[in-house]
């Protein structure tokens, strides 16, 4: 439709990219995919994935801005405590 000028006022990707601010460009960025790993656990707690999340703009009641997650590879059980640092 764009190539045939069937829509009046339709912005092309090129025209948007020329006028996009830095925040808009950063907001549309994509992360590279995480490489696949053939390692899997054979029993509970043999392999636990963890991640530190933060710093978060809105702090907790204790003024903490980070939290840690733990996920068991076999059961996919996650921590419910919401460990806050």
Tokens coding 81: 């405590």
pLDDT digits (tens, 9 = 90+) for 28-53: 777 778 777 777 888 999 999 898 88
Residue 59 pLDDT:
84
pLDDT over 60 (residue 85): no
Q: What is the mean pLDDT of residues 53-64?
A: 86
Provide the whole-model pTM. Answer: 0.47
Tokens coding 59: 């702090």
Q: What is the mean pLDDT of residues 12-28?
A: 66
- DSSP structural state of residue 3: T
19 phi and psi angles, rounded to 5 deg: -110, 10
């Amino acid at each position: 439709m764009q190539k045939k000028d069937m829509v009046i006022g339709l912005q092309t990707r090129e025209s948007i990219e020329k006028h996009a601010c830095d925040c808009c460009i950063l907001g549309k960025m994509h992360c590279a995919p995480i490489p696949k790993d053939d390692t899997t656990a054979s029993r509970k707690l043999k392999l636990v994935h963890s991640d530190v999340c933060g710093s978060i703009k809105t702090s907790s009641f204790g003024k903490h801005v980070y939290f840690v997650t733990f996920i068991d590879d076999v059961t996919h059980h996650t921590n419910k405590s919401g460990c806050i640092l």
